Amino acid sequence: MTYILGVNAGLGIFHDPAACLVDEHGTVLAFIEEERLNRVRHSAGVKAPALAVARCLETAGIDAADVDVVAVGWDEPRMSARQGAPWHFDSPRHLLGQLGFYGPQLPDLQFHPHHQAHAASAFHASPYDQAAVLVVDGNGEDECISIYRARRGQPLVRLERWPQVFSLGHLYEAASLWLGLGRRGAGKTMGLAAYGATDNVPDPGWLSVGPHGLISALGTSTGDDYYATKDRWHKRIRQFAGAAGPQQPTANLDADPNAVKVAAAVQTTVETVVSWMAGQVREMTGIDNLCIAGGVGLNCAANGRLPGELYVPPVPHDAGVALGAAWSLAAPREAVVFSAYTGGLPGPLPTDLGSVTAQELDVDRVADLLAEGRIVAVCRGRSEVGPRALCHRSFLASPVTAQMRQWMNSLKRREQWRPFGPVTHTDPGLWEPAGHLERYMIGAARLTCSGATALPAVAHVDGTTRPQRLEPGQEDFVSAVLDALVQRGHPPVLLNTSFNGPGEPLVETAGQAVACVRRLGADALVVDDALVLTGDRAMVPG
């Protein structure tokens, strides 16, 4: 058996280190982000995901000596040669040591271009035998947008790329910083943008499409680094807004016209450029099937507006290059849609549960709680990779009352203007189908009129929602709960959101789940085959 370990690691990375272990057939044995283990959201500044590497080896039941190749999702030597200090690549032995590999017999170390690793992670996870691939992020070694042609059994072919001055990722980050939402606040910015009437927002001219292609307000220079590009976008956003920042605090940004204008403008820019790029990559490759990777692939609203066959993996952001680097050496030979459940198991419940006790899991009891308007936390099976909770590390609730959105946002200590998405195991006819985007809750879909009426807790202000549809056999427990709810006259839909508190990653273990429920408050906790009734809701309905 040959083992290949892919990593998002190295001196050049800024966030989301991760590790992924595959065999020679490309079968994913384990894939987990460092943040789930060190409990630091995005793990910014962590250059070597040593905890994630160790967990992958433990999950597969092998030792470090069994790993044949370590594949890195960055061309570290090329970055080092171009940048010099502080991105100086010391030696393979030094990086391998940081990842937990020691001794005289070390695995081979190979480096793969960042965007190539992104493209591989999207295409080989998809159901397609051939696809056009679009990579859009902050930046790779040199580029921020790339176009690839992919065919199963053949090397990826890069057809075009654009330098950092065209970076949608850096522009969106600058807007999020201006809004006071932080460097990693893109998801909040996307949610805020829906409060703006985009038809009335003036075109800021940041990035646009002209008769000869993409135009950047920053020009065409290839010499700007990340910091210079970000600062230049910051100045452009301040000029557009006419202010140094919002007038309202974060909790009230939806009531700040200037903040909404900036969010809507940057979101419209992303949607315009991504839509044009999607057309370009399909035209250049002659292939209708489209895969998207890179951090901008997390923009559900932009994804949901794209026509045709589309696949975005559950981990399109930088953590995904751990998977792509591994698959650059051992790609799956057949098209099998990727399962996101690649992390660790919850482990046993803590022995000290205080005044509450665990009982055997009862689907009907859980359905009763949800039908009564209670909030149930779920920590079952292997954790899902990526930022979207897919029912293995989720808070679940009934979406049939508008109040539930307020209660859930209060429980999670979130801004009240932020939206939620639904999960189902059928086609309820309550939103427009979103195809493969529904697999991982990674695309917006427009609610039907009946859907907006029936599911007010997951209806965003612009009439969209971000759905997840469970495939047969994918998640038997939640599917059984949905069936039980239908028997009670409830629609086959639940509100599904991430099982975590503010500023922290999704819970990984049973102990973390118990601590999070105690800290935030929820009515019940499901851990594998146990049900814990807490009665600790942090707010009182009504």
Asked whether the beta carbons of 316 and 113 are under 8 A apart, the reply is no
Which residue among the candidates 15, 42, 234, 425 is catalytic per the annotation?
A: 15
Residue type, 407: W
Beta bridge partners of 33: 18
Distance (Å, rounded) from C-alpha 110 to C-alpha 92?
9
Q: Give me the helices (H) in 124-204, please.
A: 168-178, 186-193
If you write DSSP's letter for every residue of 421-453 in order, what string do you get? EEEESS--SSB---GGGGGTT-S-EEBPHHHHH
DSSP SS3 for 248: coil
Tell me which residue has tokens 């460092």.
Answer: 34
The three-point CA angle 88-91-93 to 5° equals 140
Distance CA 132, CA 146 (A): 11
249 exposed, middle or buried (CB, 10 Å; 0-12, 13-18, 19+)?
A: exposed
Angle made by CA atoms 114, 115, 117, in degrees to the nearest 5:
65
Closest CA to 64 of 108, 106, 1, 8: 106
Nearest to 294 by CA among 146, 148, 190: 146
Tell me the two tokens of residue 206: 């940041």
For residue 44, give the amino acid letter.
Answer: A
- Specify whether 114 is catalytic: no
Q: Which residues share a beta bridge with 533?
A: 524
Q: Are 8 and 17 in contact (CB under 8 A)?
A: yes
Is residue 501 within 8 Å of 413, Cβ to Cβ? Answer: yes
Does residue 498 sit in helix, strand or coil? strand
Active site (catalytic) residues: 15
